[in-house]
Amino acid sequence: MCGIVGYTGFREAEPILITALNRLEYRGYDSAGMATLSGRTLHLRKKAGKIANLARLLKEKPAAGTTGISHTRWATHGAATDRNAHPHLGGNCALALVHNGVIENYSILRSNLEMAGFQFSSDTDTEVLAQLIAFHWEKKGRGLDLRDFVLAISQSLSQVKGTFGIAAVSPHFPGAVFGARLGSPLVLGFGEKEFFLASDAMALAGLAKKAIFLEDHQICVLTPDSWSLQDMDQSAIDPAIETLDFQNAEYDRGRFDHYMLKEIYEQPEALENALRGRLNDKDSTARFGGLNLPLQQLRKTERIILTGCGTSYHAGLVGEYLFEELARMPVEVEYASEFRYRNPPIEQNTLVIALTQSGETADTLAALRETKLKGVPVLSLCNVVGSSIAREADGGVYLHAGPEIGVASTKAFSNQVAVLSLLALFFGRMRHLSPHQGAQILEGLKSLPDAMRKTLECEEQARDIASNYHQARNFLYMGRQYLYPVALEAALKLKEISYIHAEGYPAAEMKHGPIALVDSETPSVFLISPGPMYDKVMSNLEEVKARGGPVIAVASHVDPALRAKADEIIEVPRLPEWLQPVVSNIPLQLLAYHIALMRGCDVDKPRNLAKSVTVE
Ligand code: AGP
């Protein structure tokens, strides 16, 4: 998704804007640009492609100035070209604007502006917004009081349907940076005699320690010695100033070639952080500090709906098994993009839990808002403190996975599953689980990080297997019960970073069609664990072998039959079934990583993908 950075203060803006923009690079984009002010002169530079292309342009055409905005664009309207890159100008260079989000009614607004004599130079919805602000400012007589310009912004945004996070500068207001938010995050950062604006707090690492997270319908104005925040109706606001807690080391790759590999290896420690302070050994249950819902209300919960997108949705599928087994509660798992529009009947005593790493996924945020509109309590399991979903939920549990920079989610998945296990224990102990059973579950969770550390030793084996199969054009992943969601998650991991087509299935589904795909060029990955499903999964495996399909097994139980049948076996620690997903997923994260590398793919920033999908 797009990234926004704004700066005004006493230092040169260019280097600050580029450095901060690089911290947002992981979010995915296809062009970058910057507008800086030196006095009343506006300098506009923008380029398709990587931020490095923009940096080269800045070197060719350096411009002094202590005020500016910069942007990485993930194309929604108009191809990824220089002319469609942000910033976009409004009027006769009355302003330069960058924008995250989608202006849904941009075409009618554009037609009206063209009839008013405005000419456009791009295919973007953002340029329409820039021109609209210029239109309202000029119509009001081009007043040179900051409030005149804020009024023009407010009037323009009131005509917009859709979402936006914007930043703007104008040569008529030297030193000022304007920001506004509706549906797309914006953070106001405080430095020493300087101010920052960003679409993601991560851009402010090393720059600001205090910040305000703008709410929807708010406009801010930053100058080198002042800041103000108001509602669209000009009423002043007294917001909460929050502390930003960045450990710079978290943002460096350290000894790893890629953030994704670093984050795969961080999983044991990240999971320990998810558990820290939440294991109540005295009462053999879990404890949370932020559910913000009365215990009696939680006890009355009769059904749970888990909702999220992508990997978060897959974590929800594991959560379904966890709540059903540990808490004996009916659970439904919904793709947030479907749930927000399906308008399902939601009975009393239902609890909705939104699962998200970024806390900014548009569909999940919309599902949360729709749920709250129905008076249904919503919790969020989120990794980014202060994100929109975390702030708009009634309560929630932070994942404490640390910044997840790689677009392909890894440690957030593990921590979501860990937190869902804690919640299932919590609800189970409120219902039928005995203290002894609760204690056993706590012991199981405590054993997980070391089991993950041991599993990470399989990387070399995963790399060897990757070298045998990285040219395949299709992969199948099969698992049953708790390992079925892992099959889906492993298929997504391979798809999104290696661009190989991959599908995950409940193993028994093979016979209902997918087995037609099996041939000698299509590897089938089977997730195998002992227990009542073992023989059945072995039968499915043999059906694949009988048709000449190569078989890769990730198994917590290896017997002679499996050795005889599987072409490759990665053995993982054997855990209770409900703990197995997080461990069995690791070899397949590593397999996807090495296959992608061998195919020359950009592992941390795969094509077409964004780390946080903040538009529909
Ligand atoms: C996961 O590897 C993907 N990058 C993607 O599916 C992601 O899980 C999805 O977009 C949801 O993001 P969220 O968890 O930040 O809401």
C-alpha 465 to ligand 1 mean position (Å): 26
Secondary structure (3-state) at 464: helix
Q: What are phi and psi of 4, to 5 degrees?
A: -125, 135
Please state, in angstroms and rounded to a whole number, the distance separating the CA atoms of residues 396 and 388: 12
Ligand 1 centre from 495 Cα, in Å? Answer: 13
- Closest-lying ligand 1 atom to the alpha carbon of residue 611: 4
Q: Which DSSP string do the residues of 557-608 spell out, in sequence order?
A: S--HHHHHH-SEEEE-----GGGHHHHHHHHHHHHHHHHHHHTT--SSS-TT
User: Atom of ligand 1 at shortest distance to CA of 361?
Assistant: 16
Active site residues: 2, 611
Longest dimension (CA), the chain: 84
What values do phi and psi take at 567, rounded to 5?
-80, -35
Return the best residue to mutate from 27, 355, 358, 384 for the ligand 1 pocket (most ligand atoms within 8 A of CB).
358
**What is the pLDDT at residue 615?**
75
For ligand 1, atom 10: residue with the closest CA: 310
Q: How far, in Å, from the CA of 309 to the mean position of ligand 1? A: 6
pLDDT at 236: 82
Instruction: Return the residue whose CA atom lies nearest to atom 7 of ligand 1.
Output: 310
User: Ligand 1 site: residues with CB under 6 angstroms?
Assistant: 308-312, 356-358, 361, 364, 407-409, 496, 612-613
Structural contact between residues 414 and 448, judged by C-beta atoms closer than 8 angstroms: no
- Token pair, residue 362, equals 């548009």
Question: What CA–CA distance (Å, rounded) separates 400 from 383?
Answer: 6
Contact predicate 444/463, CB 8 Å: no
Beta strands in 270-320 (DSSP E): 279-280, 285-286, 303-308
Burial class (CB in 10 A: 0-12, 13-18, 19+), 217: middle
CB within 8 Å of 237: residues ≥ 6 apart: 218, 229, 230, 231
Tell how far the Cα of 336 is from the centroid of ligand 1, in angstroms: 11
- For residue 378, what pLDDT is reported? 98
Question: Which parts of 151-254 are beta strand (E)?
Answer: 164-169, 177-182, 187-190, 195-198, 210-213, 218-223, 226-231, 242-243
* CA–centroid distance, residue 611 to ligand 1 (Å): 7
- CB distance 555 to 583 below 8 Å: no
In this prediction, residue 26 carries a pLDDT of: 65
Instruction: Say if residues 409 and 362 touch (Cβ distance below 8 Å).
Output: no
Q: Which residues of the chain have pLDDT under 50?
A: none
Give pLDDT tens digits for 101-151: 888 899 999 999 999 999 999 989 999 999 999 999 999 999 999 999 999
Give yes or no for a contact between 169 and 95, defined as CB atoms under 8 angstroms apart: yes
User: What residues have CB less than 8 Å from 19, skipping those under 6 apart?
Assistant: none
The pLDDT, as a whole number, for residue 548 is 94
Distance, C-alpha 368 to centroid of its chain: 16
Tell me, letter by letter, the H, E, C secondary structure of 526-557.
EEECCCCCHHHHHHHHHHHHCCCCCEEEEECC
Whose tokens are 């929050």? That residue is: 242
Burial of residue 20 (CB within 10 Å: 0-12, 13-18, 19+) is buried
What is the model's pLDDT at position 175? 97
pLDDT at 28: 67
Pick from 409, 616, 602, 613: nearest CA to 1: 613
Residue 265 to residue 452: CA distance in whole angstroms: 9
504 phi, psi to nearest 5 deg: -110, 145
Name the residue among 449, 454, 486, 485 with its Cα closest to residue 588. Answer: 486
Torsion of CA 266, 268, 273, 274, to 10 degrees: 110
* pLDDT at 251 (0 to 100): 64
Residue to mutate, 409, 419, 611, 614, ligand 1, most ligand atoms under 8 Å from C-beta: 409
Instruction: Tell me if the pTM is above 0.75.
Output: yes
Residue nearest to atom 9 of ligand 1 (CA): 310
Q: Which two tokens stand for residue 10?
A: 């006493």
581-608: per-residue pLDDT in tens? 999 999 999 999 999 999 999 999 899 8
Q: What DSSP element (H or E) covers 166?
A: strand 164-169
The preferred substitution site among 258, 260, 267, 312 for testing ligand 1, maximizing ligand atoms within 8 Å of CB, is 312
Helices 484-498 and 580-598: crossing angle, nearest 10°?
20
Whose C-alpha lies nearest to ligand 1, atom 6? 310
Alpha-carbon span 101 to 199, nearest angstrom? 11
What pLDDT shows up at residue 443? 98
Please give the pLDDT value at position 248.
Answer: 59
**315 Cα to the center of ligand 1, angstroms:** 11
CA atoms within 13 A on the CB side of 225: 0
CB atoms inside a 10 Å sphere around CB 41 = 13
